[in-house]
Structures are given as structure tokens and as C-alpha cells.
Chains A and B, each alone.
Chain A
Amino acid sequence: MWRWWGSRWTVLLLAAGLALATANVLVDAHRIGAHPCPPAQHCPSART
């Protein structure tokens, strides 16, 4: 039974990575919106 721990932990690790990535991308999408200013340009409406 303990031999399955290796693959189980690997699947859990990959799932945790994907979950973290999804959550962070959603936070970014919420924060900067779908169409933010282009890079290196000041956004007048930002951080008000």
C-alpha cells in the first residue's frame, strides 16, 4: 500500500501547482481587467 504514496504525492503536487496558478491568474484578471493599458504606459485610472 505504501508504494502508492509516491505517485499519489506527485499527483497532489501537480494538482496544487495548477490550483495555485489558476487562483493567481484569476486574481490578476480581476485586478487589471481584460484589457489593461499596454506595458510601460501609465494608467491614469490605476491605484486611485
Chain B
Amino acid sequence: MTGPSVMIEGSGGAGGAVAGMSWVAWRQSRAALLGVLGLLAGYAFLAIWERTHPNLVGITESFSSYLYLFLALFLGAPLLAREYDTGTHQLAWTQSVPRSQWLTARLAVNLGIGLVAAGLLHLMTNLVAGSGSRPSDVTAVYVTSHGLLPYAQALCAIAWGVASGAVLGRLLPALGVTLVGSVVLTSVLLVGGGGRRSLPFWSIELSRAVALMLVATALIALTYRVVARRA
């Protein structure tokens, strides 16, 4: 394994250590990155299928809500839980890079992958809909798959998965809690549209995105706290 040696080599200077840590974070996120790429390839196939079959209009948008569930499972829950399961966190935490920087490097990579994945799926739904068309019905699915919500949902789902892994400390329970939490989050966002139908689109988008980002920030803060206190 080349990761730890990079960290030691990079510990000569503060900047080098952080950069080496970042490189390790990329190496450790390779499997998750491949999983997300496979998922996006599936969505691309679905988008092409929808484009070539007019009777399937809206199928990509309908399935887009499930992206956040997979992001939480691929990028969120395993980030800390797998480290705890295999014990590799102890190796990482004995290097010269502080735990908080180690966590920041790993979070930055996984949140970045989630942000780009949400953006690419949003781009696909926009391209499938056609450049000049307007939505005929602004449904709850439309609200969750356009505007600001795809990004807020992606970041919140990943933060939920990471916090679950940090608190539970085991991969399988963390995956279970992440799955249940993500399903609840998606259901609340899809069903919750019913009570606020009088509000315009951007008001709903902004209020929900701010709420989700506050939840995500609280979950990330909790994760830093749990990691700092872990023996």
C-alpha cells in the first residue's frame, strides 16, 4: 500500500503533508468514484432511452431522486465506517497530519464527487427536456430534481452517511441507517411538496436548500466532534 508512505514523505512541510493527505484521500475514494461513474452511466443510458422513446417522457427525472440514496451509500457511510472496520484509521491518525485535516481532505473529495454527480444528472434531465421547452407541470419530482435542491440533497445525504459511520463505527449498521435516513429524506421532500403548493418554485427551492444545508453543516460538525473524541 503506497498511501501511508506518501503521508510520511509529505510530512516534511505543512503544505506537503496536506497535499499528500489529499492524494491519499483520492486513492481511498477510487472505489466510490467508480461506483458513482457506473451509476451516472446508467442514468445516461436512461436519458438516451427517454430521448428515443417519446412514451417514456420524464423517466430520467423520476429516477433522479434515487441518486442521493446511492451517493449516501457510496460516498457517505463507508468514508469513516470502513476505516474503523479495518482499523486503518489508527494508521492514518499516527501520521503527522492532524485528524481534522485528514477528515477535511477525505470530505472534500467525496463531497466534490457528489456535487459533480448531482450536476451531471441535473444536466442530463435538462438536456432530455430540450433546450427551449418549459415544464408543463411543476410537480414535486420536478422541484426536487431542478434548481438548488439536487445539490443540497446530495451534500446532505453524504453528510448523513458520514455522520452515521462516525457515530456507529461499523460499516453494515452505518449503511443500514444511511439507507433508512436517505429514504426518509427523499420521501419527506417528495411528499412534503403538498403542503406548500401556494409558494412559487424558487421560494420552495431556496427554503428547502437552506434547511438541508443547515442539517448538513450540523452533521459535518458532529462528525468532526466524534472523530476528535474517538480513542
Contact = CB atoms under 8 A, between A and B. Distances in A.
Classify the secondary structure of A's interface with B.
helix
B115 A36 contact: no
Contacts of A40: 137-140, 193-194, 197
B175 interface: no
Contacts of B122: 20-21, 24
Interface stretch (B16-24, B47-55, B176-184): B16-24
Interface stretch (B72-80, B83-91, B144-152): B144-152
Contact of A41 (B6, B19, B123, B138): B138
Contacts of B221: none
Classify the secondary structure of B's interface with A.
helix
B23 A3 contact: yes
Contacts of B116: 13, 16-17, 20
Interface residues of B, number: 54
B199 interface: yes
Contacts of A34: 202
Interface string B130-143: 00011111111011
Interface residues of A, number: 37
Nearest to A9: B26
Interface in A2-26: 3-7, 9-10, 13-14, 16-21, 23-25
A33 to B, nearest CB: 8
Given A13-B109, A17-B112, A28-B126, A41 B197 contact: yes
Interface string B167-199: 000000000000000000000000001101111
A40 to B, nearest CB: 6
A43 B134 contact: yes
B162 interface: no
A7 B101 CA distance: 12
B146 A28 contact: yes
Task: From B9, B133, B134, B137, name the one whose CB has the most chain A CB atoms within 10 angstroms.
Answer: B134
B134 A38 contact: no
Given A9-B26, A20-B116, A38-B201, 18 more contacts: A3-B19, A10-B109, A17-B115, A20-B120, A21-B148, A21-B151, A23-B119, A25-B148, A31-B135, A36-B201, A38-B199, A39-B142, A39-B143, A39-B204, A42-B136, A42-B137, A43-B136, A47-B134
